[in-house]
Structure 1
Amino acid sequence: MNTLFIVLTLLIPIFLLLTKGRRSPKRVPPGSLGIPIVGHSLHLLRAMRANTAEKWLQQRIQKYGPISKLSLFGKPTVFIHGKYANKFVFTSDSSTLSNSQPQSVKELLGDRCLLELSGQDHKRVRDALGLFLKPESLKSYVGKMDEEVRMHIATHWEGKQEVKVLPLMKTLTFNIICALLFGIERGARREKLVDWFQEMIEGMWSIPINLPFTRYNRSLQASASIRNMMKHLIGEKRRELAKKGVNPHKDLISSMLSTRDENNREVIDENEIMDNVMLVMAAGHDTSSVLITFLVRILANDPSIYAAILKEQEQIAQSKQKGELLTWDDLAKMKYSWRAAQETLSMVSPIFGGFRKAVKDIEYDGYLIPKGWQIFWVTNMTHMDSSVFPESSKFDPARFNNQASIPPYCFIPFGGGPRICPGYEFARIETLITIHHLVTQFTWKLLADNFFKRDPMPVPTEGLPIQIMPKTNITS
């Protein structure tokens, strides 16, 4: 009993110190901030891993209404949802909301990446990324991406009876990123990078307590290793660009190094290049691999969708000479395939949600969001809202036949407005080229159940193992 008394005597002042100042101002949204530091983080992460996070949030809505407070990843947070909430998040300027990610994301990716920048800094870096990622620039990379996909299929699919789709799609998208965005050739350096990257990505959404043997600690170490490699790579690119005749836009790093202002000064410094390389690596790797994986899952479950995509892709394949690479014009003909991909994104968004930070006290929906608090929004809250998308649980690519009919700020897998992801077109090209080769070369069936969890990206059971059967009438 004396030992318990001593422990409580020591802990109570610490608890009071941690909770000092946590009393909510008047008129803040209803809800509880929970216990210090941890708050509701473990509840959310546990629900995500059980694929019940949207249900968990719906229960909050039923209990507290459309806006409520909680604590996530060490910060007081306000959860908002719906199309007006999405518009508020994506259109508010930097005097109202700033980009702000959980501490774990900030530490791993860096505080100068696009997710953390606001105002003119955000525009400056976004414009520099956009020079490489805009459709006009990406047209010339379609053939190179097609080559990467063909090489991947020849290495990992041909001659196999069973494959696990998600790990292979992660391998594919990482190789595409290394080749097209960073100019890293196949070999030991790329293999080291992928190992470190997988270690880093596991701690993206975690409680930021840096203790040995924790997921967060391992991720920080992996991030430091990647940064060291990227620093050397940036130096190599800089030396290459000093030579005459080198293409300044042959990869993303070279393009950012070559971007100059009217006084011929670099627009982005080395730290910003490094942080945004880390961001592009994380965003481009996981989002595209998840989209392609779940589209493969849909095609296994719905023969009519598979048949419609196959018909479209076979027409394109039959118009090509054997071995001829796909072109930008070919991608423009893949309209139904992309609508099916959009519907996949609607039902299983790779990005669960995101955060902003209140720059000042904000009046929103009759409540006060205090300065410095996080604002948390969730992608699927409008995607699966039947008042926005009728029969939202039914897989129906036709709902994207007329893009103008979709209410603004309701379909947001890539964000919206001025905050839309600059890598949107890159992901579209990756997805369409990959699906073209898969459906024209293979049929498949699932070998595991349809369950998936979020960690924090959607992860299907056992990585989605499938049995594959090659086709014999391949024309491309």
Structure 2
Amino acid sequence: MIATILLLITIFLYLRLRATFFSSAEAKNLPPGPLGVPFIGQSLSLLRAMRANSAEQWLQQRVAKYGPISKMTLFGKPTVFVHGVAANKAVVFSGEEEAVSNRQTESLRRILGERNLTELSGEDHKRVRGALVWFLRPQSLKGFVGKMDGEVRKHLNLHWHGNKEVIVAPLMKTLTFDIICSLLFGIEEGPTRKSIIECFKTMVDGIWSVPINLPFTRYSHSLNASAKVQQILKQLLKDKAQKMEEEEEEKEEDKNLITCLLSIKNKDKEQALSEEEIVHNIILLLIAGHDTTSILITLMLRVMATNPTVYAAVLQEHEDIHRSKECGEALTWEDVSKMKYTWRVALETLRLFPPVFGGFRVALKDIQLGGYTIPKGWQIFWAASMTHLDEKIFTDPQKFKPSRFDQNQTSIPPPLSFIAFGGGPRICPGYEFAKLETLVTIHYIITQFTWKLSSQDFLTRDPSLMPNKGLPIQLYPKL
């Protein structure tokens, strides 16, 4: 019975897809490559490769067979995969809003909400991005260092000290979630935060999935979890808006991203964000910050456990800062600005192991690229690692070399070749927040502990990159 339903759904969607997209592509010079089975196409094959952490090889085989531009079907839509710095400049991170727009997969769009930043274009994108960037700019973040310092110390005292072994990945997810909830959204420990995090893993599991909304699918479970989170956040907005109305002046400790966005709504109708835009972008930042930064910190500990030279250099940098502090004194913005080598280690970790595999755009008109036509309405798919591991851009690309990102070097990566945070007008607005969070966390881990891996592991993507065992490590606290 289920098989019959799936077959009927597939046939229906295929006919609709063909009527919508394929007719417009007729007689055009399409890129090479098969579209595959209707609706499904290469989706399941790519997802299998991601879980085996062989998606880069999967794409490299396509490049070897069809060249840097090829067509396929991914997650229900005809798709053109593009590769290279030229493609990144021309279509992926282009500012030409009339030609290319943000358009994530159906599953990602529905789970995050259709008014999140990765879906918006033109004036809407500038308006929402401007509001987020204004709050997350370095001038604002300077005031976060002390509170973030306290969150990290509290986390280590609760979950690390007194344990001989910890599993890093889930603990880093807990830490980054707590930091984001507390600092960005003013959601302190309690039922609201607990309810959100209970829905979170289910939401993330379905982000890259075939969008078949049947009760037994990952996609369906993720949609339900997203709906619950949105209801919780809408109530939170109402509560904060009411509190702001009752108080004549907002207290400094109550200021956060939500109150900032609500203030814009109250003061400037032209720049105001709708309730949906605020809620959907809170979800975006929660998922992006919770997943990507926690993965980065986890993988940095993995790198340092297996690379004594890198570990020693990071340790030296942080011991110098630690010795300059009074006992119990919190880090300052000036301290964080001295952690230059540690951030280069972070960037090199992101180059080799980007937490986000890739993303999608949509062609708003027929686009000419590399002698081929990308038809209007087709998806454009890009993957970060394709330029990160290109030996024409990065010499000996499989080697871990933090010096690649030393600004004093003459051979720094060319623009739009390192795209772990996106690029151009699409660069991640939370870049500086993620940097601060990473550096403060590494400082306290490396000055309070030494560690070694408890067992061998391998990396897998489902959908984000992660050690398959969560990175268990043996802890040795420093006296």
Which of these residues, 263, 271, 274, is aligned with residue 258 of structure 1?
A: 263
**Alpha carbons of structure 1 residues 15 and 285: separation in structure 2 relative to 1, 3 Å:** closer
- Does the CA contact (< 8 Å) of 1:449 and 1:461 recur in 2? no
- Does the CA contact (< 8 Å) of 2:33 and 2:72 recur in 1? yes
Give how far 1:464 is off: 0.6
Q: Which runs of 5+ in 2 are unaligned?
A: none
In 1, the alpha carbon distance for the partners of 2:296 and 2:188 equals: 25
In 1, the alpha carbon distance for the partners of 2:45 and 2:278 equals: 35
Quick one: percent identity of the two aligned structures?
Answer: 54
Amino acid at match of 2:38: P
Which of these residues, 229, 245, 250, is aligned with residue 246 of structure 1?
A: 250
- Does the CA contact (< 8 Å) of 2:56 and 2:386 recur in 1? yes
Counterpart position of 1:415: 422
Counterpart position of 2:460: 453
Counterpart position of 1:366: 371
In 2, the alpha carbon distance for the partners of 1:63 and 1:182 equals: 48
The answer to whether 1:434 aligns with 2:441 is: yes
**Alpha carbons of structure 1 residues 145 and 97: separation in structure 2 relative to 1, 3 Å:** same
**Alpha carbons of structure 1 residues 266 and 62: separation in structure 2 relative to 1, 3 Å:** closer
- Does the CA contact (< 8 Å) of 2:101 and 2:363 recur in 1? yes
Counterpart position of 2:152: 149
Counterpart position of 2:276: 271
In 2, the alpha carbon distance for the partners of 1:264 and 1:370 equals: 37
Which of these residues, 167, 173, 179, is aligned with residue 176 of structure 2?
A: 173
Counterpart position of 2:110: 107
Counterpart position of 1:309: 314
Give the ranges of 4+ consecutive aligned residues of structure 1 lying more than 4 Å apart after TM superposition: 9-16, 260-266
Give how far 1:302 is off: 0.6
- Per the alignment, in what secondary structure is the counterpart of residue 363 of structure 1? strand
Give how far 1:386 is off: 1.1
Amino acid at match of 1:244: E
Give how far 1:193 is off: 1.0
In 2, the alpha carbon distance for the partners of 1:450 and 1:395 equals: 18
**Alpha carbons of structure 1 residues 106 and 16: separation in structure 2 relative to 1, 3 Å:** closer
In 2, the alpha carbon distance for the partners of 1:14 and 1:190 equals: 41
Amino acid at match of 2:88: N
Deviates more, 1:42-51 or 1:441-450: 441-450
Give how far 1:255 is off: 0.7
Amino acid at match of 2:248: K
Deviation string 1:411-457 (CA, Å, 9 cap, x unpaired) is: 11000111110000000000000000010011111112241100111
- Does the CA contact (< 8 Å) of 1:359 and 1:372 recur in 2? yes
Counterpart position of 2:81: 79
**Alpha carbons of structure 1 residues 125 and 457: separation in structure 2 relative to 1, 3 Å:** same
- Per the alignment, in what secondary structure is the counterpart of residue 317 of structure 2? helix
**Alpha carbons of structure 1 residues 77 and 335: separation in structure 2 relative to 1, 3 Å:** same
- Does the CA contact (< 8 Å) of 1:258 and 1:266 recur in 2? no
- Does the CA contact (< 8 Å) of 2:95 and 2:424 recur in 1? no
**Alpha carbons of structure 1 residues 425 and 11: separation in structure 2 relative to 1, 3 Å:** closer
- Per the alignment, in what secondary structure is the counterpart of residue 463 of structure 1? coil
Query: Once superposed, what is the RMSD of the aligned Cα atoms?
Result: 2.0
In 1, the alpha carbon distance for the partners of 2:384 and 2:293 equals: 16
Give how far 1:92 is off: 3.6
The answer to whether 1:280 aligns with 2:282 is: no
Give how far 1:264 is off: 5.5
Deviation string 1:189-234 (CA, Å, 9 cap, x unpaired) is: 2112111111111100000001112111111111011001000000
- Does the CA contact (< 8 Å) of 1:448 and 1:461 recur in 2? no
Counterpart position of 2:54: 52
In 2, the alpha carbon distance for the partners of 1:57 and 1:51 equals: 12
Counterpart position of 1:123: 126
- Per the alignment, in what secondary structure is the counterpart of residue 239 of structure 2? helix
